[in-house]
Structure 1
Amino acid sequence: MRSNPTGRQLRLGRELRRLRESAGLSSTEAAQLIGIKQNQVSNMEAGRIGVSPERLRTLACHYDCADKGLVEALIDLAAERKRGWWEEYREVLPAKLLDLAELERSGHALRTAHTSGIPGLLQTTDHAREVFHQVVPELSPREVDLRTSFRIKRQGVLFVHREPVPYQAVIHEAALHMRFGGRDVARQQLKHLLKLSEHPNVTILVIPFDAGGYPGAGQPIYYVQGAVPQLDTVQLDQSHGIALLDAEAQLNKYRKVLDRLTTLSLIETESRALIHRIIQTS
């Protein structure tokens, strides 16, 4: 039995519980239907034990789940994985950061919106290091190094494994004027954005100052699209750490916020032109 389930294993358990509850069954009733003990159902839903494809299909059948796409996506979610690169950071970085890296690895599309900073997957090493130097309470030099290297390795999801995942970043013009690390670091960061925007899977859109107000209260939003909409996830940065949200109402809300921010943005060519102008005048 797992003592510390990963984010992926916990997510599978939550989805199994949602299916059971939507069918109006208690964990005891579900256990009786498939001939196991109630505590086994509870442990599956808590991510403490695995679920075979056969058992998962049986549960879906008893839960009257006719969504074959969702069932197959859950089976894939339940499959045992090889150790990912992020495992070398286990017990030296917060577990939710590792969960985020694994989530990105299985994501089918990524969307983000930032109004006061550059998205992590688009940061240069120098920019990322300066961001971590500003964390309160102050991080030790070793922690800064670990978080910086972890962030840079996460960027491989855009370019390294399988087919490059589609990635859209909406950045407010205000963030492009921030000088983390000083003028030279800031200029190199902007040039890096222009270079990344040339990749076919990367879309960078800028909200100009004259766009006026915008939704979202300025909070960074990161949306990871799963194999099916039910397995989407929203990641929010909060003062006490990151939060991963997957309730249907939350997903709908942040999809709408991101759509609205996209409509406020300049198109790609105009966004690149604005970034170029800021480089020239910075």
Structure 2
Amino acid sequence: MPARSIITARQDRLGAELRKLRERAGLSGREAARTLGIAESKLSATEMARVGVSAERVRHWASRYACDDVALVDALAAMATERGRGWWEEYRGRVPSGYLDVAELEHHAVELRTFQSVHIPALLQTEEQIRAIFTSTVPKLSPEEIEVRTRFRLRRQEVLDEIGYLAVVHEAALRIRAADAKVARDQLLHLLEQSERPQVTVRVVPFDVDGFAGIDTPLVYASGPVPQLDTVLADTPHGGALLDAEAQLNRYRAILGTIEEVALGVVESRDFILRLAQQM
């Protein structure tokens, strides 16, 4: 099988999970290759996602590694069978590669939870809001780049037709104007409209809530088919980072739990957003 010229974040994750199975079995690369009856270079290339792997081989390796977590093995085998190119691949070379990773992550998630403290969640933004955000990017984007990135983000929003989505938004994000008062008001009304969809939940953290100090990291928590395959997309000063280590997942589950505890209820949040829209 020829080496891949492009490795997606999901392919990389599958290779990393196979490496974790080996390490939990207490096997070095050389020992595992001997146990599996393959060249160590083949094992290494698979774990680094440079080459693909079949579902049958995933199950065989898991068996030799004495992994008895059936749900996890089934999920990894399912990942190995993915051969189609997602819609986001149409944009490769036209938007930053990290955008493609996010779209791929959202597409394969079984549920999404997000907390946003500066911007309205991307999946709930109006087209005008999106354009305003990309127009203010530093360095400046060309009109063509703004158009492509806007279309890409709008296409991402189609995932909300398929999965559950919980968005917790800080009052600061609701009040920040990416453009003018009309765009801001239309955005809040759109947020209200989206919150009425059965699979979408929007909750607000107001400025005057108690017990919220120190929680300021915008993030997206994507649930996989099993908890071990969950992923966190966290904003950093240098861009988004995909996190999947067990300790990181536990940390962000706790952070989201704390945020959701102090957020207003669904009805209160809708009333809050409506009042802000009426003030615009």
TM class by shorter-chain length?
over 0.9
2:73 and 2:101 map into 1 onto residues whose CA distance is 22
Equivalent position amino acid for 1:80 in 2: E
% of aligned pairs identical? 52
Q: Is the 8 A contact 2:170 2:204 kept in 1?
A: yes
1:16-35 alignment runs, 5 A limit: 16-35=18-37
Equivalent position of 2:273 in the other structure? 275
Equivalent position amino acid for 1:3 in 2: S
Equivalent position of 1:53 in the other structure? 55
The match for 2:101 among 81, 99, 102 is: 99
Equivalent position of 2:89 in the other structure? 87
Equivalent position of 2:163 in the other structure? 165
The match for 1:151 among 150, 153, 173 is: 153
Q: Is the 8 A contact 2:116 2:170 kept in 1?
A: yes
CA drift of 1:91 comes to: 1.3
Equivalent position of 1:257 in the other structure? 255
Q: Is the 8 A contact 1:116 1:218 kept in 2?
A: no
Q: Is the 8 A contact 1:44 1:51 kept in 2?
A: yes
Q: Is the 8 A contact 2:58 2:77 kept in 1?
A: yes
Q: Please, what is the CA RMSD of the aligned residues?
A: 1.2
1:6 and 1:204 map into 2 onto residues whose CA distance is 31
Equivalent position of 2:217 in the other structure? 219
- The secondary structure found in structure 2 opposite 1:211 is coil
**1:253/1:237 Cα in 2 relative to 1: closer, same or farther (>3 Å)?**
same
Give the gaps of 5 or more residues in structure 2: none
Equivalent position amino acid for 2:179 in 1: G
2:235 and 2:188 map into 1 onto residues whose CA distance is 23
Count residues with an aligned counterpart.
278
Return the TM-score normalized by structure 2: 0.96
Equivalent position of 2:208 in the other structure? 210
Q: Is the 8 A contact 2:218 2:234 kept in 1?
A: yes
Give the gaps of 5 or more residues in structure 1: none
- The secondary structure found in structure 2 opposite 1:209 is coil
Return the TM-score normalized by structure 1: 0.96
Equivalent position of 2:80 in the other structure? 78
1:11 and 1:90 map into 2 onto residues whose CA distance is 19
2:152 and 2:174 map into 1 onto residues whose CA distance is 23
2:204 and 2:226 map into 1 onto residues whose CA distance is 28
2:152 and 2:79 map into 1 onto residues whose CA distance is 23
2:210 and 2:136 map into 1 onto residues whose CA distance is 29
1:115-130 alignment runs, 5 A limit: 115-130=117-132
Q: Is the 8 A contact 2:56 2:77 kept in 1?
A: no
2:112 and 2:214 map into 1 onto residues whose CA distance is 18
- The secondary structure found in structure 2 opposite 1:244 is strand
Equivalent position amino acid for 2:115 in 1: A
2:226 and 2:85 map into 1 onto residues whose CA distance is 24
Q: Is the 8 A contact 1:216 1:257 kept in 2?
A: no
**1:140/1:212 Cα in 2 relative to 1: closer, same or farther (>3 Å)?**
farther
CA drift of 1:239 comes to: 3.1
- The secondary structure found in structure 2 opposite 1:175 is helix
1:129 and 1:214 map into 2 onto residues whose CA distance is 31
Equivalent position of 1:198 in the other structure? 196
Equivalent position amino acid for 2:223 in 1: Q
Equivalent position of 1:247 in the other structure? 245
Equivalent position of 1:184 in the other structure? 182
